[in-house]
Structure formats: structure tokens, C-alpha cells
Amino acid sequence: MRTRPLLALALASLAAACGDDAASERATTEAATEAVTGAESGAKSDQALDADAPPASKPRVVLLTQSAGYEHAVVKRAQADAPSLVERALAERWSSRAEVQLLRDATQLDAARLADTDVLLLYTTGELPVPGGASALVEWVRAGGALLGVHSVSDTFHEQPEFLELLGGEFDGHPWHQRVRLLVVDREHPATAALPEPFELHDEIYEYKRRAENDLRVLLRLDPKSVDFSRAKHPHSGHPMSWVREVDAGRVFHTGLGHRDELWRDEAFLGHLDGALSWLLREG
């Protein structure tokens, strides 16, 4: 269980909410240092706003948006310290529920960092330089971690199939980029319970290979009637778009949506991710 003084935690949350990656890192480091110092000296910190309050228990959500391959515009930072659209949207939305950390460098995702992470969101591509490789992430999930994979996450770690097997699908083209209709095939999940019917949006639509259909709980599928289906490379796949998996003690949520910038201002799509976070945090 992580224990950090409230002041430092608040600073970290504020920094994350403001999208200040460096400040967030700083505040978290200060918090950890303070916690250790306090424990060693047995003294209360003058800096803590309320040292007698119970330890803060906000879950920690790490957003990793590194692109080792193709970089999507929505995760691009105009400047190193200016958060991307995805980072801003999720930090602002989730900072009241979680301590949101913005991470651009997978080399920092070592075992200690993972052990201190409740939910890891990946909007990534390519062979990420995670210490220990993809298998370190797979082991973390199997041991009870929670992974939220967005859009090009299935275009990540092509050379390390254990990751794509964990995720449940591997990117295999995007034949459609248009307004589509999605079929909510499972409404008994927090990520879909509030979705509109019909659920239509404009996005780039992926197809997948390396998929174990029996192991997926599919929440959303592409409605084949809403596209030129003759362009499908996998016409018998059922075209799952969002799905979940439980793997040993861990949980995986995947959505193929999220390419276009307007989705990151779309209440239905963001609500879909809110529900995903609730499920991954095992709320309720």
C-alpha cells in the first residue's frame, strides 16, 4: 500500500491535471521522499496539510503515450512540456478519481514503477523500450495489473507476440476511415451501459489478426452494414472493436477507437473510457 502525505499528493494531482509531466514527477518524488523521511524520524511533517488524516488512497493511473513507430496526431506534443490532446483530455477527466501520471518514456516503466501503478493506459506504437521487454508488462498484468489499451496499442510490440496475445488482437490494416455504426453487443459492462443506441462516430477502423475470440468478452462490434464490407480483409472476424479479458489475476480492456481528435472531445467515447477505468479499478 502506498502512503504519501496529502499535500504532496494534491500537488501531484494538480500537476497532472494541469498536464505538467515534470511537476507531476517532481511532486511524486517529493511525496515519496517525505513519506520515507517521516517514517524514519517518527516525526510529523510540517508540510502535510493534515498529518492525522488517513493515508491518501487515490489509485495511480499511468498514461504512456510513446510512439516507437507511427505517431498519431492526438498523442503528439507540440512541445516537450505541452501535453497532447489525449493526455489533456484524460488528465482533466480522471484527476478527481485517480493520480494521473503522464509518461512519454517507456524506459521509466521499470518493475518498481509498475508495482506502484494501478492502471496502465497505452496509446503507443512500435517496439517500446520497456525494461524487461513486453514480457515484463504481461507478467505485471497476470499478477493483478490492469491494462487499458487504446487504438494503436495493437500496433505495438509486433516482435513480441506475448503482448498481443495478452491484448487479444494485432493491428492488421484499417480499411475504413469514415462515419461508422457500432453495435453494442454487451451492455452489462460499465464501459457500454451508458452508450447511445445507435452508437455512431467517425474514426479510423482497424482489423485484427492473432486473436483468440473465445477468450474475448466483446463489448462493441463494427456494424458491417455501415461500411463497404468488400474491403474487409477478415470478413469472418466479427469485427470486434472494444473487448475485455481477464487473465489470471489481471484485467485487460481494449478499444480500437481513438484515432481522430474529435473523439477526445466526444462525451460518448470518453464515457466509454470512464467505464473502462471503473472496471479496471474494480469499482462497485
Instruction: Please tell me whether residue 266 binds Zn ion under the rule CB under 5 A.
Output: no
- Choice between 140 and 264, CB closer to Zn ion: 264
* The amino acid at 29: T
204 binds Zn ion (CB under 5 A): yes
Closer by beta carbon to Zn ion, 28 or else 154: 154
Shortest distance in whole angstroms from residue 256 CB to Zn ion:
9
- In angstroms, rounded to a whole number, what is the distance separating the alpha carbons of residues 182 and 74? 22
Pairing type for strands 170-171 and 176-184 reads unpaired
When the beta carbons of 98 and 222 are compared against Zn ion, the nearer one is 222
CB neighbour list of residue 272: distance below 8 Å, 6 or more residues apart: 191, 192, 195, 242, 255, 257
- Using the contact rule CB under 5 A, the part of the chain among 17-25, 107-115, 252-260, 270-278 near Zn ion is 252-260
Helices (H), the chain: 6-17, 21-41, 85-94, 111-115, 134-142, 161-167, 267-280
Span from 135-143, 179-187, 214-222, 257-265 in contact with Zn ion (CB under 5 A): 257-265
- Using rule CB under 5 A, residue 259 touches Zn ion: yes
Q: Does 170 bind Zn ion (CB under 5 A)?
A: no
CB 97 within 8 A of CB 277: yes
Q: How far is the CB of 61 from Zn ion (least distance, A)?
A: 22
Question: How big is the chain by its Cα radius of gyration, in Å?
Answer: 19
Q: Can residue 260 be called a binding residue for Zn ion (CB under 5 A)?
A: no
Task: For Zn ion, give the closer residue by CB, 251 or 259.
Answer: 259
Identify which range of 4-12, 160-168, 225-233, 255-263 contacts Zn ion by CB under 5 A: 255-263
Interatomic CA distance for residues 193 and 151, integer angstroms: 21
Q: Count Cβ neighbours within 10 Å for each residue of 60-70 and write b for 16 or more, e otherwise.
A: bbbbbbbbeee
Q: Closer to Zn ion at the Cβ: 204 or 266?
A: 204
Nearer to Zn ion, 77 or 174 (CB): 174
* C-beta nearest to Zn ion: residue: 259
Q: What are residue 282's phi and psi, to 5 degrees?
A: 55, 45
**Residues contributing to the site for Zn ion (CB under 5 A):** 204, 259
